[in-house]
Amino acid sequence: MGKTRVLVLGGTGYMGKRIVRACLDQGHTTYVLQRPAQEIGLDIEKLQMLLAFKEQGARLVEGSFSDHQSLVNTVKQVDVVICTMSGVHFRSHNILMQLKLVEAIKEAGNVKRFLPSEFGMDPALMGHALEPGKVTFDEKMTVRKAIEESKIPFTYVSANCFAGYFAGNLSQLGTLLPPKDKVGIYGDGNEKVIFVDEDDVATYTVKTIDDPRTLNKTLYLRPQENILTQRQLIEKWEKLIGRTLEKFHISAQDFLAPMKVLDYATQVGLGHFYHIFYEGCLANFDIGEEGEEASQLYPEVQYTRMDTYLKRYI
C-alpha cells in the first residue's frame, strides 16, 4: 500500500485541499493540477496553497480543462485521478466539465481508478428530486454514464452531509453558526441524517483508491454514531451549552412555499434540504451489492463524533 501516484483536480477547493492532505498523509505520490498562469490570474490564495502543498511533498503539474492534450499528458503520469470540482450552485457549479476529464482519461488509457466529484447524496437514488435541485443529480449521472461507457475503473463516494454546512449550524438554512436562542425543526425532526466531518470524508476517500473491494462500487459514508436525527443533533448541542433552545416546527408545505420567489442557487439548496430532512433520503435505503460502507471497511479510522465536532463552536 502507498506510493500510488494520485492526481487531485480542484486541489485548492473546499474538499480538494483535504483530499490532497489525505493523499500525502497516507503516503501516496500526490500530484495537484495547477492551472496555467493566465487562468490563475491574481488568485494569490490559491497559488499560495499550491506552493504550500509543494513544500509538503506534492508535485504540481500544469494543465487546463481548455487544453485537452495538457489533461491527457497530466493523466498519463498517474495511477488514480480524484476530481473535487465544486457541484454546489452557491459556490461554483462545474460538474459537467468532468466530461472533458473523462475523455482525457479514456485517451490516456492508464488510469486504474477514477473518483469523480460527488461526495453528497447518491445521485442514482435521486431521480425523483425536486426541480431545480434535480440538475445536480442529473449532471452527476451524466458523468457516471460517460465513465462507465468508457469502461474507466471507478469509485463513487456518497459522503452525505458535510458537518461544516449541516452540523455546526444545527442544520439551519442561511447560516454556518449555531442559533443562540431559537432553532427551527424540519417536520417532526426525526428523520435520520448522516453527518460527516470533511477531513474524515477525505481520509475514507483516499483509502479506497487501492482497495479492490471498492472497485466499480459506491462507497457510502455511514459512521454509525453520526447517524442522527435533527432532534438528536440539537440535543447534543444543548447538552454542551447547558441550556435548552426554543424550538419551532416547519412543515413541509411551509418549507417549500417560498421556493418560486427565491434565487436559483437557494432553490437548489432548498430542494436538497427537503429530501434530506423531510424525506430522509440519506438513510432510508439499504446498501446493496454495488456499494460498501466506509466505517465497516476501515474500522481503523477514528472518525469525528458530532458531539466532539460541535465543541469547536462553543
| Active-site annotation, residues | 140
Q: What is the dihedral of CA 258, 260, 263, 266, to 10 degrees?
A: 60
In 10 A of CB 124, how many CB atoms? Answer: 15
CA angle at 167 for the pair 195 and 288, rounded to the nearest 5°: 15
Distance CA 153, CA 99 (A): 15
Distance CA 125, CA 220 (A): 13
In terms of Cα–Cα distance, which of 311, 60, 84 is closest to 201? 84
Distance CA 188, CA 250 (A): 8
Query: In the β-sheet with 291-293, what is the strand arrangement from edge to edge?
Result: 155-158, 217-220, 291-293
In terms of Cα–Cα distance, which of 109, 79, 84, 111 is closest to 5? 79
Three-state DSSP at 296 gives helix
CA angle at 74 for the pair 95 and 152, rounded to the nearest 5°: 55
Three-state DSSP at 298 gives coil
Query: What is the 3-state composition of the chain as percent helix, strand, coil, each rounded to the nearest 5?
Result: 45, 20, 40
